[in-house]
Amino acid sequence: MGISYLYLIEDNASSHQTARQVDNKERQSHGIITLDWPSKSPDLNSIKWIWEYKKDDISTWKFMGSERAAIEGAKHVLVETWAALPQAVINQECQSFHEKLQQLILCAGNNNFNG
């Protein structure tokens, strides 16, 4: 499929810490690059909302076979799912990002808004 890298963004919420310690070596062995997102930071990550839009579709897939085959199958489904997203959904999330960014500026960087 030609995907040479995969990024995973997680905030530093305490609920992620134990799993992160266990999973880091596994992630690295599969070429997954982890990017930190500060805990209690405003949620400006549009991918989260796009994921909400499609995760039920993705969760119906069952990845079988060897570990490598299952990983490649999952990558393929994620790429295909992303490619099938309606452009209107992507446009809305991009616009939403700018609106949330303005709220963040008005709140002087504080996370006291419903972003």
Distance of CA 62 to the CA centre of its chain: 20
Q: Are residues 50 and 98 in the same domain?
A: yes
- Amino acid 2: pLDDT: 58
**Domain limits for position 84:** 42-114
On whether both 61 and 88 belong to a single domain, the answer is: yes
Our count of domains for the chain comes to: 2
Residues 2 and 16 in one domain: yes
> Domain check: are 22 and 64 in the same one?
no
pLDDT at position 50: 76
72 and 98 part of one domain: yes
Same domain, 55 and 32: no
Q: What is the pLDDT along the chain (115 residues), one digit of tens a residue?
A: 556 666 766 666 666 666 666 677 777 787 787 766 666 665 666 777 777 777 777 777 777 777 888 888 888 888 888 888 889 988 888 888 778 778 877 877 666 655 4
Do 47 and 99 have their domain in common?
yes
C-alpha dist (Å) from residue 58 to 5, 79, 83, 98: 20, 11, 13, 28
Q: What is the pLDDT of residue 13?
A: 66
* Of 90, 7, 16, 97, the residue nearest 53 (C-alpha): 90
Residue position matching structure tokens 């919420």 = 13
Tell me, what's the pLDDT at 20?
64
Regarding whether 10 and 49 lie in a shared domain, the answer is no
Task: Give pTM, 2 decimals.
Answer: 0.50
